[in-house]
Structure 1
Amino acid sequence: MALQVLSFEKYLDSVRRNRLRIIVTFVILSLMLPLAGYTFWGAAYFSNTAMLLGGGAVNLAACLVAYQISRRSTGLISNLYPDTHQSISRVLSWFLFYAGVHVAILFFLVAIYDRFTVFGYHLNISPALWAAFSLVGGSLVGAGLTEMSYTFAQWRINQHELQQMEHSQLETELDIVKQQVNPHFLFNCLNSLSILISEAPGTAEKFVDEMSKVYRYLLQVNGVEKESSLVSLEAELRFIKSYIYLLETRYESGIRFDLQISEPCLAGQIAPLTIQTLIDNATRHNVVSVHNPLEIKIRTTATGQLEVSNNLQKRVVNMPVNNAGLASLVSRYRLLFNAAGTVQVKQDDASFTVTLPLIYT
C-alpha cells in the first residue's frame, strides 16, 4: 500500500513538473483532431458517430506518434546546437524535422485511408495539399515556440549557476576571513599586549595602534563593501608593515624582515593578503628562534614581479596546513588571472622562494 501511495505521489509530481507541456499538448490535439477529420471526410466527419470516434482514434494515434517523434528530436537537436549563437541552426533544424515528420505521417494516413477506403475516404489532392501546407506553417510556429522555451530554460539554468557561483564565492570569502582573522594569532597578540602593558606601556600603545590597522585592513578587503578583488602593492605594504610590527614584537629578534620594493612597482596590483599568506606560510613551517632567526625577504624583481623568500629551517613536526595556505593562494591567482597568474615556487637546501605576478592596469 505504501509503495502504491509513493508511486502515485511520483505521478502527481511528474504531472506538476510537466503541467505546461500537458496543457499545450491538449490544446494542440483539440485543434488538430477536428481539422484532420474534416480534411479527410469533410463535414460528414462531424455528423457520423462511427466516423467521428473511429477516425478520431486513428488520427489521435497518428498525432501522438508525431508528437513523440518531435519531442525526442527536440532534445537531440538542442544537444547538437546547444550554444546561444546557434539559435538559427536550432530553429531551422526543428522546422525541417517537424515539417518532414508531420507531412510524412499525413500522406501515410492519406495512402492508408485511400487504399482501404476507410469510412468511404477517396483521395482528394486539394484538401491533402492544404493540410500539408498548414502543417508546414504550424511546424514553423512550433520551431519558434520551441526556441523560446529552450532560451528561457537556458536563462533559468544560467541564473541558477550564477547564484551558485555567487554563493560559492561568498563562502570562499567567508572562509578567507575566518582563516585570516586567526583566533590563535589574536590570542598571541593579546598575550603580547598584556605583557607590554605592564613592562612597556609606550610600546603597548603603538602595538594596539598597529593591531587595529591590521584588523581594519582585514575587514576592508574581505567585507561586503570591498571595491575590487585586487589591491595595489602600495596598500598591501602599508598593511604588511603593521603586521610585521606585531610579529617582531612577538618574536623579537627571532624574525627579521628585509623589504626591497622599487617605486614603479607600487602601482602593481595583487590579490589581498598575498604577502601575509606567504609570511604565515614561512612561520608555520620553519623554526623561529633567537639563535636561528627566520629571515624573510620581500622584494620586487627587475621584470616587475613580487618575490617573497625565506631561509629554510624546517620544523621537526609541521603544523597542519589550512585552506588559506600556499596551495589556496596559487588557486586564487589561477582563477583571477588564468595563465598570467602563474605562481612560481622554488625550494633548495637553503631557501624557499615564491614569485608572483604584479598586474598593471
Structure 2
Amino acid sequence: MNMRRRSVIQALVWSGYAGLSMAMIASFGALSGSLTFVMIFVAAGLWACSEALRALALRRGWLDLPVHSLLLRLFLLPPLFAFGLQVLTYLVNWAGLSLGLLEFPPGMPRGGVVMVSYTMNTSVLLWLWLAVWMGVQMLNRWRSGEIAKWQAETAARELELQVLRAQINPHFLFNALNNLRALINEDPARAREMLSRLSNTLRHTLQHSAKERVPLADELAVVRDYVALEQLHHEERLRVDWQVDPATDGASVPPMLLQLLVENAIKHGIARTAGGGVVDIGLKRDGARLAVAVSNPGQWAPGSSDGTGLGLAHLRERLARAGGDGADCRIAAADGRVTVTVELAA
C-alpha cells in the first residue's frame, strides 16, 4: 500500500473515531471547544501511535517471528503506547488549564483511575488497528506467495514448452534435408510431398506445443508425416504397423506425446537394430480412457541410461498436469521388443 493511500485510510479511520467520540459526548451534554480539542488531539495521537507500531513491526520483522513472540509483542506494546498517549494528553490538558486555554465542565472525572480507564480504551483501539493491519499484511504475503508460485509454474511451463519446441531431433532435420536434396532430381513430385510433410511437422511443433491438449487427429497427422520422412531415410529398414481404434475419434492428448514415443522407438529401436524392424503404434479407447502403446525392436533394462531416452519422470510430470487423473506411463521389454504404454484421460 503506497503512502498516500495509507494516509487517506488513516485519516478516515481516526477522524471517524474523533467524530464518533464527539457525537457520544454531545449526546450526554454540551460539546465544548476544549473537549473537541482533546478528542482531536487523542485521535491524532492514536494515528501517530498506529504509525509508530507499524514502523516498529516492519523494522523488527514481526511477521517473521514465531507465534509466541509475535503474540507477546502484540499484547504488551499497544498498552504501552496507549499509556504514553494518555500521559501526553494529561500534560497537554494540565498546561491548557494552567494557561487558561482549556476549560472543562465541573465534576468531570479525573485521577489515576480515569487514566487507567482511558488507557484501556485506547489500547483496545490500537489492538484492533494492529490486528486489522497485520491481517492485511499476512493476506498480502499469502497472495504474493501464490503469485510467485504461479509465476514459477508459468516459467517452468514456458521452459518446458521451449524444450518441446526443440524436441525435433537435429539429426532428423539434417537427414530430412539431405534426403530431400537428393530426391529433388530423382523424384521432384515426391520431393514436394516430403517437403510439405516436413513443413507440417515443424509447424505442429511450433504451434501446438503451446497448448495443454491437442486433438489426437492432429497428433496422428503430424506423426504420419514424421514417419514418412524417417522412412525416406531408413527406407525398408523402417516399417510401421498402425492400429488405431476408430473409437479414438474426438480424443485429445498432450502435444508431442505420440511424436516423442515414435521418435524414441525409431532412434533407440530401429536405428540400433541390424536390419531395422517394425514399429507398432496402437491407440485404443475404453470409455473415457485412452491407451497409447508404441513398440519397437530392442533391449531395455530398468535403470539403464540409454534405454528409452524419453525421460519418464519428465513425461509423467507432463501427464500429471495435462493428462488428467490417473495418467501414467509404463515401459516393458519382452521377446526382443520394448513397449512404452501411456494411459490417460481422452
Shorter-chain TM-score tier: 0.5 to 0.7
Matched, 1:259 2:234: no
Out of 98, 102, 124, the position equivalent to 2:74 is 98
Name the residue aligned to 1:299.
282
Q: 1:245 to 1:72 in 2, by over 3 A?
A: closer
Question: Residue 249 of structure 2 aligns to a residue in which SS?
Answer: helix
Name the residue aligned to 2:177.
190
Matched, 1:171 2:154: no
Name the residue aligned to 2:214.
231
Out of 323, 344, 347, the position equivalent to 2:330 is 344
User: Is the contact made by 1:269 and 1:358 (CA closer than 8 Å) also made in structure 2?
Assistant: no
Name the residue aligned to 2:27.
none
Name the residue aligned to 1:276.
259
Name the residue aligned to 1:357.
343
Written as runs of structure 1 = structure 2, the 5 A alignment for 1:100-115 is: 102-103=78-79
Name the residue aligned to 1:250.
233
Question: Residue 253 of structure 1 aligns to a residue in which SS?
Answer: helix
Aligned equivalents of 2:252 and 2:285: distance in 1? 16
Aligned equivalents of 2:274 and 2:120: distance in 1? 95
Name the residue aligned to 1:218.
205
Question: Residue 309 of structure 1 aligns to a residue in which SS?
Answer: strand
User: Is the contact made by 2:323 and 2:344 (CA closer than 8 Å) also made in structure 1?
Assistant: no
Aligned equivalents of 2:150 and 2:159: distance in 1? 14
Out of 136, 145, 148, the position equivalent to 1:157 is 145
Residue type at the aligned position of 1:354: V
Aligned equivalents of 2:285 and 2:143: distance in 1? 47
Aligned equivalents of 1:190 and 1:319: distance in 2? 27
Aligned equivalents of 1:153 and 1:290: distance in 2? 57
Aligned equivalents of 1:334 and 1:350: distance in 2? 30
Question: Residue 167 of structure 2 aligns to a residue in which SS?
Answer: helix
Aligned equivalents of 1:268 and 1:232: distance in 2? 6
Aligned equivalents of 2:249 and 2:156: distance in 1? 31
Alignment size in residue pairs: 272
Question: Residue 179 of structure 1 aligns to a residue in which SS?
Answer: coil
Deviates more, 1:289-298 or 1:132-141: 289-298
Question: Residue 345 of structure 2 aligns to a residue in which SS?
Answer: coil
User: Is the contact made by 1:287 and 1:313 (CA closer than 8 Å) also made in structure 2?
Assistant: no
Out of 110, 113, 119, the position equivalent to 1:131 is 119
User: Is the contact made by 1:207 and 1:246 (CA closer than 8 Å) also made in structure 2?
Assistant: yes
Question: Residue 267 of structure 1 aligns to a residue in which SS?
Answer: coil
Aligned equivalents of 2:299 and 2:141: distance in 1? 57
Provide structure 1 residue ranges, at least 5 long, that are not aligned to the other structure.
1-18, 32-59, 81-92, 111-121
User: Is the contact made by 1:255 and 1:289 (CA closer than 8 Å) also made in structure 2?
Assistant: no
Residue type at the aligned position of 1:205: R
Q: TM-score, normalised by structure 2?
A: 0.65
Q: 1:287 to 1:183 in 2, by over 3 A?
A: closer
Deviates more, 1:235-244 or 1:163-172: 163-172
Aligned equivalents of 2:61 and 2:141: distance in 1? 17
**Deviation per residue, 1:46-77 (Å, 9 max, x gap):** xxxxxxxxxxxxxx9xx99xx67x96764447
Name the residue aligned to 1:49.
none
Aligned equivalents of 2:298 and 2:133: distance in 1? 67
Matched, 1:206 2:182: no
CA drift at 1:144: 0.4
User: Is the contact made by 1:240 and 1:276 (CA closer than 8 Å) also made in structure 2?
Assistant: yes
**Deviation per residue, 1:14-56 (Å, 9 max, x gap):** xxxxx98xx99xx9xxx9xxxxxxxxxxxxxxxxxxxxxxxxx
Provide structure 2 residue ranges, at least 5 long, that are not aligned to the other structure.
15-48, 87-109
Would you tell me which structure has more helix in proportion to its own residues?
Answer: 1
Aligned equivalents of 2:273 and 2:76: distance in 1? 86
**Deviation per residue, 1:135-192 (Å, 9 max, x gap):** 1111101110111122223323333333333223222211221232x33211100111
Q: 1:133 to 1:290 in 2, by over 3 A?
A: closer
**Deviation per residue, 1:185-227 (Å, 9 max, x gap):** 11100111111112222221211121122112112213xxx4x
User: Is the contact made by 1:211 and 1:246 (CA closer than 8 Å) also made in structure 2?
Assistant: yes
Q: 1:302 to 1:138 in 2, by over 3 A?
A: closer
Aligned equivalents of 1:249 and 1:312: distance in 2? 21
Question: Residue 285 of structure 1 aligns to a residue in which SS?
Answer: helix
Question: Residue 346 of structure 1 aligns to a residue in which SS?
Answer: strand
Name the residue aligned to 1:146.
134
Residue type at the aligned position of 1:244: V
Q: TM-score, normalised by structure 1?
A: 0.63
